[in-house]
Chain A
């Protein structure tokens, strides 16, 4: 991490790694001392993270480390037991998943959760729901605002699908898509909600190396085009090391390491978490 002298990291309100390009922008997400207990089980504890405005951050760790739980905390599927989540400078305490989504967090799911019986385009339009500006009644009575807004959302849905070259699949039902395409559609649907931070839960799961390569390019493209931050959970280390600017390693619900890919790769604790210690 080489930084030019005029960048003042002092302004960054957390000790997190923030890429240079984001150093002068406010963090999109800042979680402090985040934790959740399920009954007596401490699932996540002392989770601290700050994500820069256009950073791609990886969240890795062995199975059961609590990675998806973190996603569920950030999206308010679970209300945290401890700690705070600041989204764009606002505390999300007591907010609902819908409110958090409207404030700019969107996600995909580890086990794909598309609306199977809806068409590809309709899935994207569900993501656009809060950006389609006509009243329910004008939809019922087919007022002009209905037609113009539906037209706009149709165009927008196709634009978004085109990022992944899926515009020609707009009319097929989601469950008839091949696996990789379903994963891509989940990303498009999440993107349609207009996030500032995109959470991707194992986006490359089940993809072959060439699909993964394409996905990496697309994640970068999305970040560059939409100027958003990405936090991703992934087991594919080529992907994580290839596109993440910072990496957080989780084990047993706690952060065991943080840093740039090169720092993480050489970290003995990380290697231990993944491979176990060698005991005589």
Chain B
């Protein structure tokens, strides 16, 4: 039971890291970046190639993945979303879905359809025993990484001027602009942070579930989006809570109910939560501006 719980928190931590990307971008650019899941996949491939083809050590491979994904995030925003800044949200949504398919198919062209076996970075590390439950090292790393990221992001958004500017932009772009805040830079930065985090999540995910293919990012992407909505989209602690709860529900459902039904149960819980709390667990009440 304890092992399942820890595994659930670990999977949930990965979801939470991905969900941050969704929730921050939504909070600031007011758009759902459905290509976010595919950035995870790119992060996986970049670290895979760095390790297997270039022979780089794992930490360098992770940095390479973070770098590539950060740049990718900024470029995608500049090319695909920035021209639509004043367009209807539906147009942006369709573009994001298109970008998602574009990234998947680009990966298919570059790396082929065959699944790649992701190398285990922790093959020399013994399984860790916590109170009698044996837990894989990657599970522990995921939980720790998630905690560090949460603390760092919270400090960033509350204590630094750019973080404050982000919150200001998320509340009122127009007023922020008129106070001298560069909204485009702020949005780029948000995409950069979200995509960098997606790269970390990609490496963790591929280490925990070592099959890498062009569609690797879709399902975790959707789940993380669910987690973000579950916790209240736009809220950073919401993404954390939503992600972890989702991870626990999924692992427990898989262990005790049915592995086939696990995903159905996860999404079922989401539906129930949204019926009772339409803005998610920590979601802001939406008030109409008059």
Contact = CB atoms under 8 A, between A and B. Distances in A.
Interface of A: 75, 77, 96-98, 101-102, 106-107, 109, 111, 113-118, 122, 125-130, 132, 134, 136, 139-140, 146, 150, 153, 189-190, 193
A153 B175 CA distance: 20
Interface in B160-205: 160-165, 167-168, 171-172, 174-183, 189
A113 B290 CA distance: 12
Contacts of B174: 77, 113
B167 A98 contact: no
A77 B179 CA distance: 12
A107 B165 contact: no
Interface in B139-169: 156, 159-165, 167-168
A118 B181 contact: no
A226 B96 CA distance: 48
Nearest to A117: B171
A134 B172 CA distance: 24
Contacts of B167: 115, 117-118, 122
B189 A150 contact: no
A272 to B, nearest CB: 32
Given A115-B167, A115-B171, A129 B178 contact: no
16 contacts: A77-B174, A77-B178, A101-B178, A111-B289, A113-B172, A113-B175, A115-B167, A116-B171, A117-B284, A118-B167, A126-B164, A127-B180, A139-B156, A139-B160, A139-B163, A193-B180
Nearest to A113: B175
A146 B160 contact: yes
Contact of B165 (A77, A126, A153): A126
Given A101-B178, A107-B178, A129 B171 contact: no
For the side of the interface on B, what is the size category?
A: 20 to 34
A181 B172 CA distance: 19
Contacts of B183: 98
Contacts of B175: 109, 113-115
Nearest to B181: A129
Contacts of B160: 136, 139-140, 146, 150
B162 A126 contact: no
A115 B163 CA distance: 13
A139 B178 contact: no
B171 A75 contact: no
Given A117-B167, A118-B168, A106 B162 contact: no
A190 B179 contact: yes
A155 to B, nearest CB: 15
Given A97-B178, A136-B162, 4 more contacts: A128-B161, A139-B156, A139-B163, A189-B179
B156 A97 contact: no
B178 A126 contact: no
Nearest to B289: A111
Nearest to A103: B180
A109 B182 CA distance: 19
Contacts of A118: 164, 167-168, 171
A116 B172 CA distance: 9
Nearest to B172: A113
Most buried by B among A127, A129, A130, A153: A129
Contacts of A139: 156, 159-163
A75 B177 CA distance: 10
A129 B159 contact: no
A8 B176 CA distance: 41
A118 B189 CA distance: 20
Contacts of B182: 98
Given A113-B172, A116-B171, A75 B178 contact: yes
| 8 closest cross-chain pairs (CB), A and B | A139-B160, A101-B180, A113-B175, A115-B171, A126-B168, A97-B177, A132-B161, A115-B168
Interface in B266-290: 284, 289-290
B281 to A, nearest CB: 17
A171 B180 CA distance: 23
Most buried by B among A114, A115, A125: A115
Most buried by A among B171, B178, B189: B178
Most buried by A among B159, B165, B175, B176: B175
A189 B176 CA distance: 11
B179 A126 contact: yes
A128 B290 CA distance: 28
Contact of B177 (A98, A128, A153, A190): A98
A129 B172 contact: no
A124 B47 CA distance: 43
B177 A129 contact: no
Contact of B180 (A122, A129, A150): A129
A148 to B, nearest CB: 13
B2 to A, nearest CB: 36
Interface string B233-262: 000000000000000000000000000000
